[in-house]
Structures are given as C-alpha cells and as structure tokens.
Chains A and B, each alone.
Chain A
Amino acid sequence: GQNIDQPTEMTATEGAIVQINCTYQTSGFNGLFWYQQHAGEAPTFLSYNVLDGLEEKGRFSSFLSRSKGYSYLLLKELQMKDSASYLCAVRDPGRRADSWGKLQFGAGTQVVVTP
C-alpha cells in the first residue's frame, strides 16, 4: 500500500510564494503528480516528476527526491484564483507494460490566498 501525507491547509497573501510539501511511503513508484482542484470541480493536472530534481512550469514548480520519498509544489506570485486544494498523487507501476497503474492521492492541501 501507500501512505501519502501533505498539510491540511496553508494560507498566504496575494503575490507571495507558498510551498506545499508531500511525503510518501510506497510499495512501488512510477511518478508523482500534482493536481489542482477547485471545490466541486474535477482535478486538473499541474505537474509530473519521475526523476529527481526540479520541474518548472510558469508560476508553478515541482521538486522530487525519490530517496527521501519527498516532493514539493511551489506556487509563486500567488493570485486569488490559486485558492484551491492541491493534491499530491503517486502512480503505481502498472501490472502490465501496456497500461499505467492507478494514482493514489493524498488528502489534499487547501491553499487560501488572502488580499
């Protein structure tokens, strides 16, 4: 099985930077994903890491350390629309080579951006 931990809630001011940490313990690993989810809506893809290091994508960056079972999502120049839940998810290796395994999600971190 897998255990994925992330903080429940974080609050930051518009224009600031927030870092959301995620730690995981897994029986298998085939990549880590970050999703954004607004209340009542579908999760939308933000980033993907499978190798150690930093992936930068506009205002969002994601970091992975496989040896430490650790990732973070960095949100820069926060905007009010960034208020949402941010989900860390680890992908299982698929049972067969022809399909990807399931995503196992953390409980999500609610980010509140204040004026």
Chain B
Amino acid sequence: DSGVTQTPKHLITATGQRVTLRCSPRSGDLSVYWYQQSLDQGLQFLIQYYNGEERAKGNILERFSAQQFPDLHSELNLSSLELGDSALYFCASSVGSRHGYTFGSGTRLTVV
C-alpha cells in the first residue's frame, strides 16, 4: 500500500456519461497530480493541485475538471465520455521529498 488511495479501481460506463474519480493523498502530502495513461502510451499529465489551489495544467480536455477539497482529497470529473477516454487514471501525491511522487493504484476506466 503506497498510502495514496484511489477509488474506484474499475469503472465501466457508456459514452456520453459522467464519472468522478477520487484520490486521497498520503498523510501530510499537500500536492496532488492527476495523470492519464492510455493503452500503450506514456503517462500524460492532466492537472496539479496544491493545498486546494490549482497549480499546473497539462493537456486536460475541457470536458474534464478537478478540484482539491479542504481535507486534501481530490476528485477528477470526466463528462461527455468518449470511447477514447478509456484509460488508466493515476493520482500521485508529493510533499517534496527526494523520493518524488507516490502513485495510487489507479482507476481503470472503460467507456463502452
């Protein structure tokens, strides 16, 4: 157990639907980073939050949004889902140690 908790582990939904992915960072970590990993592709950075504030944005679609709550957990909202959104979505947290970023086990999203 890495200490970063992601739920749900698996999600199957239909095109056009909306889903919410949840991430709880390691205790004490203030930063949360969301990544998308499509089949046979690398990890693509989506968005970063630090202590409730958005700090950096990557190639995140307008249909996607995220937020970080006062208890530091974060949610990634994906709407108007398309088949191409099927991927593994990882959350990582960091407190700034030289050991970098700790990843959660991911949510596997399948859009049918």
> Which of A44, A99, A104 is in CB contact (< 8 Å) with B96?
A99
Whether A100 lies near B94 (C-beta < 8 A) is: yes
| Cβ contacts under 8 Å, A99 to chain B | 30-31, 48, 50-51, 55, 94, 96
Interface string of B81-112 (1 = CB under 8 A from A): 00000001010101010111111111010000
Contact sample, A vs B, 28 pairs, CB 8 Å cutoff: A33-B100, A42-B2, A43-B103, A44-B103, A45-B100, A45-B101, A48-B98, A48-B99, A87-B42, A87-B43, A89-B43, A95-B55, A96-B55, A98-B50, A99-B30, A99-B31, A99-B48, A99-B51, A99-B55, A101-B48, A101-B56, A102-B58, A105-B42, A105-B43, A105-B44, A105-B45, A106-B42, A108-B42
Residue of A nearest to B44 (CB): A105
> How distant is B22 from chain A, measured CB to nearest CB, in Å?
16
Chief secondary structure at chain A's binding surface = loop
A-B contact count (CB 8 A): 70
**18 new A-B pairs (CB below 8 Å) besides A44-B103, A48-B99, A104-B45?**
A31-B100, A33-B100, A42-B106, A45-B100, A50-B98, A89-B43, A91-B100, A99-B96, A100-B31, A101-B56, A102-B33, A102-B48, A102-B56, A103-B33, A103-B100, A105-B35, A105-B45, A107-B42
